[in-house]
Amino acid sequence: MKTYPSVLLAANRDTSIPMALAALIALVVFLIDALTPLDIAIAVLYVVVVLLVASTNNRAVTVAATWGCVALTLLGFVMSHEGGYLNGAAARCLVSLVAIGTTSVLSLRNQAAATTLQEQIQLLNLAHDAIVVHDMNDRITFWNHGAEALYGWTAQQALGQSIHQLTQTSFPVSPEDIKDELLRTNRWHGELQRVRRDGRVVAVSTRAALWRDATGTPRAVLATNNDITRRKEMEARVQRQQEELRSTIDAIPGMVWSSSGDGTLTFINRRWTDMGVTLEEGGSGADVWSAIVHPADLPQMQSAWRSAIATGASFENVSRIRTGTGAYRWMHLGAEPLRDEAGAILRWYGVNTDIEDRKQAEQALERSEAFLADTQRLSRTGSIATHFPDASMWWSDESYRIFEYSREVVPTFDAILARTHPADVATVRGAFEQAKVGAALVDVKYRLAMPDGSVKYVHYVAHLTRPQSGGTEYVGALMDITETTLAQEALARSSAELAHVTRITMLGELAASIAHEVTQPIAAVVACGGAALRWLNRPTPELDEATRSVTQIVRDAKRAGEIIQRIRAMAKKRDSVPAPVALNAIITESAELMRREFEWHAVEVQWDLDEPSPEACCDRVELQQVLINLLMNSVQAMADVSGPRKLRIATGMFDPGHALVSVRDSGTGISEDNADRMFSTFFTTKSEGMGMGLSICRSIVEAHGGRIWAESPATGGALLQFILPIDDGRCHEQ
């Protein structure tokens, strides 16, 4: 029968006491055996000495003690039976020797077994694990070095104590349950929390085994304990990190996902669930895509995904994804593969980024670019950006079209110069130099000489900007104004023609007046000629009278000549020639042509001319046309009026820079409606009117930098006024 190894309790026992006791017993036994006449086998008590010495586990001492006891037995026998060897005494001596020998042999064998056990225990001590044996009352019976290191108590301190009290064990389940399992299965495995001697809490992984004796009675529990505190801390840290990672992934403003190597979704972050998508949707991860990708985008998305899975290349796609509200939003889908060492794809990690706003902005940009391109084409306006100091350029498509360059041509200033009309090269260079020195605005009109010999008129306006990238930049518009320029020229030509025609018409209207003006001096010439002849034909010629008549003839002929000259000037087709003109003189001249009209219509002319006469810079014939037009209109407006017909003609200064001419009549006046419209072309209230007069007056006045307007004074009639810039000495320079 194997017994519980009590030696485990006595690993380091003190040997001095049993030795001393053994020596004392041996001495007492010897004295009694040798010196007393007792006929008993007292020497058998040497067995106790042998047992005591053997209990020290020292083989050599045990052997020596055995032989010592044998020697003392024999010595005692000899000393006590010197007289004769009795059979009984010899037999007792022999029994004692046999008892000592047998005890010694058994003790030595026991010692050998104990030594083996001790060695095995030493082996247990070598183990890193903490090995603890405790009996069924939790009392510690073995405590190896590992346990000393783990818990801090030495074996001596721990042995005999309750393991759970000593280490303040905290159980994950109730201790009874653990005991039950041990009794049922002879095993228990779990994690416990204990407090070390230094007060530090340690987590231990425990494997306990129940030891039963031969009768099956539970006798002890052997437990190996591993310190898993660090592992637990690491696990907690990993757990924390995983939670943080998870929170981070959930916080990413995108739909993060991962899939297996074959493309089946295995993980989605919170963005997906916020949008109402779960991995269960559609049954399997692979079907989630068909549930959320817009049907119109699904085929190309799936084909891109399949090709990425097949080739292992990065996955990139842009598709509309259904959101929680059911609305679709544009998203960029991207994924990268994770490979093992052999290069096989283990997993895909992907993220869908919401690019709805960007997409909207792109579409808006595309639209506005298309609008801009259309607008540029329609308005024949290109864009040119020039960056300084390197003078690098960017031209829009329309700019290329205007310059008639192909898109391959690098936009440079030299390329612009190559197309510039030779006569305008200096102008263009000048504008470029201005830009180089940082002028706020560049505004230049010039001509382009195209390779086919045609000429284009362009207008370039650019503003200085300071881009964040540094340097300066001119952002400008280049407008093809060929058609406008040609149209303006044609218009100017037709306006001149029209003005000429209306002048002729006006002269026609004045024909009677003019004829009267001319015939009057001619009649006077004839009369004076007759008178002169009569003075000369007298017997005594009256030379003084004749001279007076001839002088009169000369004066009247001159006047007729002048009138004809003025009419010729008005009838002549000519270009506008601005010159300093004294307004008072031109007004009186014009009124002169109208004199007959005034007389016929009984118009009383009042003069209010400023002295000295204001001088304006204008074309005198055109100004005369304006004046005659105003005077004619006044005469016509007063023709239907029965009351006094008064015409007041005045000059003066409007402001320091402008001279004012006003013509006021007492005619029908101007209704409020007509005040605005009367300067429009073809507006007339007369049955035979053309409606051109005032419109031509306005273009003439405005072409000279002036302004013309009409008022209807409260006292009745009409007041027409115009202003012209006064001649500041620069008239000839123009």
Residue 389 contacts residue 413 (beta carbons within 8 Å): no
Residue 371 contacts residue 381 (beta carbons within 8 Å): no
CB of 631 to ligand ADP, least distance (A): 9
Stretch that binds ligand ADP, among 181-189, 288-296, 535-543, 662-670 (CB under 6 A): 662-670
CB of 376 to ligand ADP, least distance (A): 40
CB of 720 to ligand ADP, least distance (A): 6
For residue 200, state whether it binds ligand ADP (rule: CB under 6 A): no
Residues from 391 through 450 that contact ligand ADP (CB under 6 A): none
CB of 541 to ligand ADP, least distance (A): 55
Residue 485 contacts residue 380 (beta carbons within 8 Å): no
**Closer residue to ligand ADP, CB minimum distance, 97 or 720:** 720
**Closer residue to ligand ADP, CB minimum distance, 33 or 665:** 665
Among 287, 286, 292, which Cα is nearest to 272's? Answer: 292
CB of 682 to ligand ADP, least distance (A): 9
Gap between the Cα atoms of 602 and 645, Å rounded? 7
**Closer residue to ligand ADP, CB minimum distance, 432 or 683:** 683
**Closer residue to ligand ADP, CB minimum distance, 402 or 631:** 631
**Closer residue to ligand ADP, CB minimum distance, 206 or 634:** 634
**Closer residue to ligand ADP, CB minimum distance, 191 or 711:** 711
**Closer residue to ligand ADP, CB minimum distance, 319 or 513:** 513
CB of 645 to ligand ADP, least distance (A): 12
CB of 693 to ligand ADP, least distance (A): 3
CB of 703 to ligand ADP, least distance (A): 17
CB of 448 to ligand ADP, least distance (A): 40
**Closer residue to ligand ADP, CB minimum distance, 388 or 683:** 683
CB of 627 to ligand ADP, least distance (A): 13
**Closer residue to ligand ADP, CB minimum distance, 119 or 688:** 688
For residue 43, state whether it binds ligand ADP (rule: CB under 6 A): no
Q: Does residue 539 have a cis bond before it (omega within 30 degrees)? A: no
Q: Which of 665, 706, 724, 726 binds ligand ADP (CB under 6 A)?
A: 665
Q: Name the burial class of residue 555, with classes exposed (0-12), middle (13-18) and buried (19+) by CB atoms within 10 angstroms of its CB.
A: middle
Residue 349 contacts residue 323 (beta carbons within 8 Å): no
Residues from 670 through 709 that contact ligand ADP (CB under 6 A): 670, 674, 678, 683-686, 689-695
Gap between the Cα atoms of 676 and 574, Å rounded? 31
Residue 478 contacts residue 384 (beta carbons within 8 Å): yes
Among 677, 411, 722, which Cα is nearest to 685's? Answer: 677
**Closer residue to ligand ADP, CB minimum distance, 285 or 669:** 669
CB of 602 to ligand ADP, least distance (A): 17
Among 532, 535, 582, 583, which Cα is nearest to 556's? Answer: 532
**Closer residue to ligand ADP, CB minimum distance, 462 or 631:** 631
For residue 622, state whether it binds ligand ADP (rule: CB under 6 A): no
For 111-129, letters b (16+ CB in 10 Å) and e give beebeeebeebeebbeeeb
Q: Which of 26, 182, 718, 724 binds ligand ADP (CB under 6 A)?
A: 718
**Closer residue to ligand ADP, CB minimum distance, 167 or 633:** 633
Stretch that binds ligand ADP, among 208-216, 283-291, 631-639, 653-661 (CB under 6 A): 631-639
Distance of CA 446 to the CA centre of its chain: 42
Q: What are phi and psi of 603, to 5 degrees?
A: -95, 130
**Cα-Cα-Cα-Cα dihedral sign, residues 173, 177, 179, 183:** negative
Gap between the Cα atoms of 227 and 202, Å rounded? 7
**Closer residue to ligand ADP, CB minimum distance, 323 or 633:** 633
CB of 604 to ligand ADP, least distance (A): 15
For residue 626, state whether it binds ligand ADP (rule: CB under 6 A): no
Among 176, 187, 186, which Cα is nearest to 216's? Answer: 186
Gap between the Cα atoms of 280 and 593, Å rounded? 104
**Closer residue to ligand ADP, CB minimum distance, 326 or 682:** 682
Stretch that binds ligand ADP, among 203-211, 485-493, 630-638, 641-649 (CB under 6 A): 630-638
Q: Does residue 612 have a cis bond before it (omega within 30 degrees)? A: yes
User: Could you write out the DSSP letters of every residue in 475-488?
Assistant: EEEEEE-HHHHHHH
CB of 711 to ligand ADP, least distance (A): 11
Residue 629 contacts residue 693 (beta carbons within 8 Å): yes
For residue 668, state whether it binds ligand ADP (rule: CB under 6 A): yes
Among 638, 646, 648, 645, which Cα is nearest to 607's? Answer: 648
**Closer residue to ligand ADP, CB minimum distance, 521 or 693:** 693
User: Could you write out the DSSP letters of every residue in 122-165?
Assistant: HHHHH-SSEEEEEETT-BEEEE-HHHHHHHS--HHHHTTSBHHH
For residue 68, state whether it binds ligand ADP (rule: CB under 6 A): no
* Consecutive H or E run containing 645: strand 645-655
Number of C-beta neighbours around residue 410 at 10 A: 10
For residue 667, state whether it binds ligand ADP (rule: CB under 6 A): yes
What does the per-residue mask of binding to ligand ADP show for 632-661, with x meaning CB under 6 A? Answer: -xx--x------------------------
Residue 320 contacts residue 329 (beta carbons within 8 Å): yes
- Give the number of residues in contact with ligand ADP, rule: CB under 6 A: 22
**In the complex, residue closest to ligand ADP by CB:** 693
CB of 384 to ligand ADP, least distance (A): 45
**Cα-Cα-Cα-Cα dihedral sign, residues 67, 71, 76, 77:** positive
Interface positions with ligand ADP (CB under 6 A): 629, 633-634, 637, 665, 667-668, 670, 674, 678, 683-686, 689-695, 718
